[in-house]
Amino acid sequence: MSEDASEAVELLRIPVELDYTYSAGQSASRFLRAIAEGRLLGQRCPVDGKVYFPTRGSCPQHGVPTAGDPVELPDRGCIVTYSIVRVPSENIPLELPYIAVQVLLDGADTVLMHVLGESSLEDVHMGMRVQAVWRPRGEWTTSIGNILYFKPTGEPDAPYDSYREHI
Amino acid sequence: MREAAIVAFAQSASLRREMDRNEVEILIPVIHELRTSAGLGNEDIDFVCSGSSDYLAGQSFAFVAGLDAVGAWPPVCESHVEMDGAFALYEAWVKIQTGSADLALVYGFGKPSMGDLPITMALQLDPYTQTPLWPDAVSMAALQARMCMEGGVCSEAEMAARAVRDRRNAKQNPKAQLKGDFEVEALLAEPHLVSPLRRHDCAPISDGAAALIIASAERARQICQRPAWIRGFEHICEPQDLGVRDLLRSRSTELAAQHAGANRGKIDVAELAAPFTHQEILVERALGLGDEVSVNPSGGALAGNPLMAVGLARIGEAAARISSGEADRAVAHATSGPCLQQNLICVLEGD
Amino acid sequence: MAQRAAVIGVGQTHYQARRRDVSMAGLVREAAQRALEDAQCTWKEVDAVVIGKAPDMFEGVMMPELGLADALGGAYKPMLRVHTAGSVGGSTGVVAASLVQGGIHERVLCVAYEKQSESNATWALSISMPFSVATIAGAGGYFAPLVRGYIRRSGAPEDTGVRVAVKDRRNALRNPYAHLRVEDISFEMVANSPMLWDPIRYLETCPSSDGACALVLASESIAERAEKTPAWIHATEMRSEPTQFAGRDQVMPRATLDNAASLYKKAGIQNPRRELDCAEIYVPFSWFEPMWLEGMRIAEPNQGWQMTCEGATAMDGDFPVNMSGGVLSSNPIGASGLIRFAESALQVRGLAGERQVDGARLALGHAYGGGSQYFSTWIVGSQKP
């Protein structure tokens, strides 16, 4: 017996590879078809009329499908809150540091998580007005990734009271 | 024990693949139907409990989205087990026993069609010594089936007879996935899938959801003409390794049935969630079911197997037969883990 | 109706970055064995086992409790596996307690664990899904914007989070089980540590730990016979709400406020700040101390930071919080909630060693999870409820 045989095995690497095929679902499909054409579609909760964007097909507050005609939203809004991220994650192909933002699109009642570009780390702040920067039209797919990032518009800030209920 | 009963049940159809609905979209109509049939609003519900698996969904915290289907507002007293919904029902039943809840909504859901189910299930095994060999779930069951055949527990023909019975029964179940009239001989002429198992010996892969309402005695009477009273409820786990347990019987089913008092009266109906024909035989034997018992009137797991909902659906199916007056006493079964490692027995009775 | 239940045994592993000397089974067994010794009870006397842990994808084992049945003496017994996101440790305690309170069992073993050295939590929490853009780097990426929202609405001084971190790290030095032990911890050291997820600094975050925590819960008649003081369970509560909906208050969710109100009602508490002697609150990022002091209705809205800044939550303050060093000092994720419950029990049993709050009679254990949407809590006391 060699010495090695008595040594504890401390760590095994056992790669696990599982493939999953996801269905977007009925509601998200409509949203994704639209975004492939550069349009942002929200949906209303049939109970209180609030506009969900992005939509997951239901209003979680009332447990009902967000049925009815979709609501087309502009690609601009304001930053509700943000964080400057300096921690790498293997799932996120962004250069550090980057600014993660929650964007409330004009006319929407839920926030979209995305990143802010064309802004210095010092300038970003709550209430900052932003608009989407899209990939070139030829690269559009059925993905929210068609929006590369949001950038400041230079408009006056949204007042705190106009978005405080979305944090 | 505080008396509690199943008073309403709803389920989705079991489908080989839900193409255009995500889990929440599958759940919403089920929960809506359930609440409508019971005439209940969210304000009537004291406790919510669910069962699901992140690995089926391929995503951490997959159960969180399930809450979207409930409309958990105002916030609800809620819990979740990473187990079949039948175990979520057990937790809800315990909650009612403590007196801190009178009425609970319980649901289970799974969409295993998204991944490679037999391979995914290999992740249930010992991560250091077994999973690296990737023994898939069907092969594990085949090892047990071979032992059962060699050990005199059952023959291929008896196994096929379970598939024939369940698929025939499933003709009456609009939610079932596999149904129709088959002959044992014809089934045995089919090739093996993983010897000695043929395709008909294996439950299908199913997407689906099930939900039910459990209520204390007073509330149950208000909601349901003939509640299905829970008169026994137990689950037992065995060690996992195949080498350390008796695979020719289901000791944990026997113990659970004994603790739950399954044989304290005549059983009219038994709904079993065993996912392989030989396992169905093992569970029948553990419960001591004779020919007079109607086994799997819904078709059981062999006719539709939405993992994480299939056990809960068995309890719902059994309860529905009590409530309709078809049966006075029923036993429902749920299972988890390789080769019937963990088993749950719920005994239901009418008034 | 509810029977009385009590904690008669607590067992913990030492929390550390890597427990390479044990497998997952060895890890949970170690904590369970210590809990049984504390309870002076044998494996055979345990009626049922309840296990909690965070997502299966962390360690890459699907429903790992099935494989742990042996190690936890769960063979041929009932076993339940609870999973309610980060609050799971707390929920595991609540479910285990209900098995005794419901009169089902006399003795229940309750175990929660995580072996982060065998897992990659940030990966498991940020799996990129189709149809979405991943921008959230782990839990810190999710919670940092909420912390910013809290600072904006409360007007809390920027150094509040630093103060919490210094206090919890000092407390950890008195806890032999704590993972992160920074002997020379100081305000400057925390304040000068790098920003990870602005406004959260490195020393304001929790570590990744291996570890397990176990409790033995018992019925009244058994607890009465216990040699050591039991921790009587006065109340338990859980509340959940959806992750996102229009107008959801993510900083101060209604679920936490409702949970607190219901918990105190069950325990007969009118003024938690005065009536509770101490609290173990789930604080994975320092700012969550003032946030959950408000969320637990211990402080008035937007004023939780005052308790922190005045020193009320320090060991020598009038309302000590996280005597153990908290999640900031030890974070085996799935166990972190149960550790809070365990510490609250140790305090009222008078068994908290160097970190004992003098004369603690009534203590709060708290856990939260998901997108600040799952809450589970309990109150334990040295006297019967």
Residues A41-58: tens digit of each pLDDT: 999 999 999 999 988 788
The verdict on B243 and B336 lying in the same domain is: yes
The verdict on B196 and B284 lying in the same domain is: yes
Residues contacting A99, CB < 8 A, separation 6+? A82, A83, A84, A85, A115, A116, A119, A121, A124
Q: What is the ipTM score, two decimals?
A: 0.97
B73 chain-C contacts, CB cut-off 8 A = 241-242, 245
Measured CA to CA, the distance from residue A15 to residue A89 in angstroms comes to 19
Domain count along chain B: 2
Whether A71 and chain C come into contact, CB under 8 Å, resolves to no
The verdict on A45 and A65 lying in the same domain is: yes
B169 sits in which H/E element: helix B156-170
Instruction: Calculate the CA dihedral of residues C351, C352, C353, C358 and round it to 10 degrees.
Output: -90
Measured CA to CA, the distance from residue B267 to residue B31 in angstroms comes to 30
Give B216's strand partners: B4
Q: DSSP assignment of C137-163, as one string?
A: -HHHHHHHHHHHHHHHHH---TTHHHH
Q: Do C135 and A92 touch (CB under 8 A)?
A: yes
Domain count along chain C: 1
Q: For residue A41, give its domain range.
A: 22-73
Q: Which of C256, C267, C240 is nearest to C291 (CA)?
A: C256
**Does B129 fall in a domain?**
no
Nearest CB to B116 within list A19, A24, A29: A19
Measured CA to CA, the distance from residue B265 to residue C4 in angstroms comes to 33
**Does C111 fall in a domain?**
yes
The verdict on B52 and B70 lying in the same domain is: yes
**Does C170 fall in a domain?**
no
**Does B30 fall in a domain?**
yes
Tens digits of per-residue pLDDT, C118-166? Answer: 887 777 776 666 666 666 667 888 899 999 999 999 999 999 999 999 9
The verdict on B70 and B163 lying in the same domain is: no
**Does C302 fall in a domain?**
no
**Does B128 fall in a domain?**
no
B258: number of Cβ within 10 Å: 16
Domain boundary among B177, B192, B227: B227
**Does C200 fall in a domain?**
no
**Does B333 fall in a domain?**
yes
Tens digits of per-residue pLDDT, C231-285? Answer: 999 999 999 999 999 999 999 999 999 999 999 999 999 999 999 999 999 999 9
Q: Are C338 and C90 in contact (CB under 8 A)?
A: yes
Domain boundary among A13, A48, A73: A73
Which CATH number belongs to the domain containing residue C40 in this structure?
3.40.47.10
C245 chain-B contacts, CB cut-off 8 A = 73
The verdict on A140 and A125 lying in the same domain is: yes
Q: Do C85 and B99 touch (CB under 8 A)?
A: no
Name the band, by pLDDT with cuts 50, 70 and 90, for residue C319.
very high
C24 chain-A contacts, CB cut-off 8 A = none
The verdict on B93 and B163 lying in the same domain is: no
**What DSSP designation does C127 have?**
P
* pLDDT score of A56: 78
Which CATH number belongs to the domain containing residue B340 in this structure?
3.40.47.10
The verdict on A42 and A85 lying in the same domain is: no
The verdict on A66 and A79 lying in the same domain is: no
* pLDDT score of A1: 44
CB contacts under 8 A, C 253-282 vs A, are: none
Q: Which amino acid, one-letter code, is at B318?
A: A
Measured CA to CA, the distance from residue B2 to residue B16 in angstroms comes to 39
* Model pTM above 0.95: yes
**Does B122 fall in a domain?**
no
The verdict on A94 and A162 lying in the same domain is: yes
**Does A34 fall in a domain?**
yes
**Does B44 fall in a domain?**
yes
The verdict on A138 and A110 lying in the same domain is: yes
Domain count along chain A: 2
Whether A67 and chain B come into contact, CB under 8 Å, resolves to no
Measured CA to CA, the distance from residue C222 to residue C100 in angstroms comes to 11
**Does C215 fall in a domain?**
yes
**Does C83 fall in a domain?**
yes
Q: Do B114 and A21 touch (CB under 8 A)?
A: yes
* pLDDT score of A67: 79
The verdict on A121 and A159 lying in the same domain is: yes
Q: For residue B155, give its domain range.
A: 138-202+229-349
The verdict on B222 and B338 lying in the same domain is: no
Measured CA to CA, the distance from residue A154 to residue B29 in angstroms comes to 45
**Does A129 fall in a domain?**
yes
Q: Do A167 and C128 touch (CB under 8 A)?
A: no
Measured CA to CA, the distance from residue C251 to residue C295 in angstroms comes to 9
Query: What would the mean pLDDT of B178-185 be, rounded to a whole number?
Result: 98
Q: How many residues does chain C have?
A: 385
| Separation of CA C17 from chain center | 18
Give C7's strand partners: C217, C231
**Which residue intervals of B227-328 are DSSP H helices?**
251-260, 277-287, 310-323
**Does A2 fall in a domain?**
no
The verdict on A128 and A109 lying in the same domain is: yes
Q: What is the mean pLDDT of chain B?
A: 96
The verdict on B180 and B223 lying in the same domain is: no
Q: DSSP assignment of chain A, as one string?
A: --GGGGS------------------HHHHHHHHHHTTT-EEEEE-TTT-PEESS--SEETTTTEE--SS-EEE-SEEEEEEEEEE-S--TT---PSSEEEEEEEETT-SS-EEEEE-SS-TTT--TT-EEEEEEPPGGG--SSGGGEEEEEE--PPPPPHHHHGGG-
**Does B38 fall in a domain?**
yes
* pLDDT score of A57: 82
SS3 state at C29? helix
**Does A7 fall in a domain?**
no
The verdict on A118 and A64 lying in the same domain is: no
pLDDT tens for chain A, 167 residues: list them: 445 677 888 888 888 888 998 888 888 888 899 999 999 999 999 999 999 998 878 899 999 988 788 999 999 999 999 999 998 877 677 888 999 999 999 999 999 999 999 999 999 999 999 999 999 999 999 988 899 999 999 999 999 999 999 98
The verdict on B60 and B153 lying in the same domain is: no
**Chain C contact probe: residue of B54, B82, B131 with most C CBs at under 10 A:** B82
* Residue C182 Cα, gap to closest chain B Cα (Å): 32
Torsions phi, psi for A51 (to 5 deg): -95, 120
Q: Are C38 and C9 in contact (CB under 8 A)?
A: yes
Q: Which of B68, B51, A42, A66 is nearest to C373 (CA)?
A: B68
Tens digits of per-residue pLDDT, B195-232? Answer: 999 999 999 999 999 999 999 999 999 999 999 999 99
